[in-house]
Amino acid sequence: MSTIAPDNLERVADAALSLAGLSARLDPTRYLAALAPGETPDMGRSILHMSGCGFAAGAALRRAGYAGAELAAPYVVGSAVSRVVGLARAHGAWRTSAPLVRGAVFLIGGPGKGGPEHMAIVVGVRPAGPGVFDLTVVQGGQTDEHGAQVTNRQIRRLSVAPGAWAVDGRAGVGWVDASALELGGGGGLELAALAVLVVGVAWALS
């Protein structure tokens, strides 16, 4: 039976670490199986060229065991970030405090917030001074030397002030607290999708 527990955050962090190093160029089949399982070949071909930060955030939750329909195919273009925020709000798992916990799936940026929207998953927290922390994160939406989408690990600087926080100068919006979500076993859809995509992605890229 699924449980709601603080160790859900650790499950999300561990799931995120398993997503680091994916490449839409070098291994599009594995990239899509992890970040966008169950999509049609046409949609998969499009997703390979979209920013992957929201897809990686959703994938970490899904791989940790979240089975809600919000993250299931078919993908609605433009919803990669909003569907993650929406499921958190719907389940009482959205927080606006600083994401100072391993496993926090945070959102920063947006209009008037110092830069474009970005989502990442905290996998490590280290104090770096008064009100300052170095966050080790796993994130999508990054690019390689060819401009192709990748996921990676990176250290980002979190600054905390009364009533506000920011990461690398982009204002914080909030974060998903997986301890308030029900997590099951996870991973099954991705394994099935990988088998399908071995054929499907090759066709889509042809």
Q: How far apart are CA 56 and CA 63, in angstroms?
A: 10
- 167 pLDDT exceeds 70? yes
Q: Which of 20, 38, 90 is nearest to 201 (CA)?
A: 38
Q: Is residue 176 part of a domain?
A: yes
126 assigned to some structural domain: yes
Question: Is the pTM higher than 0.95?
Answer: no
Are 57 and 175 contacting, i.e. CB atoms less than 8 angstroms apart?
no
pLDDT at residue 4, rounded to an integer: 55
pLDDT at 203 over 90: no
- C-beta separation of 80 from 61 below 8 A: no
Q: Please state the domain count of the chain.
A: 1
Strand-pairing partners, residue 148, are none
Q: Do residues 107 and 196 touch, judged by C-beta distance below 8 A?
A: no
Q: Work out the mean pLDDT of the chain and round it to a whole number.
A: 91
**pLDDT value at 136 more than 90:** yes
- Contact assessment for residue 56 and residue 139, using Cβ atoms and an 8 Å cutoff: yes
20-74 pLDDT tens trace? 999 999 999 999 999 999 999 999 999 999 999 999 999 999 999 999 999 999 9
Q: Is residue 32 part of a domain?
A: yes
Residue 185 one-letter amino acid:
G
Q: Across residues 146-168, what is the average pLDDT?
A: 98
For residue 172, give its domain range. Answer: 8-204
Tokens 């940026």 correspond to what residue?
109
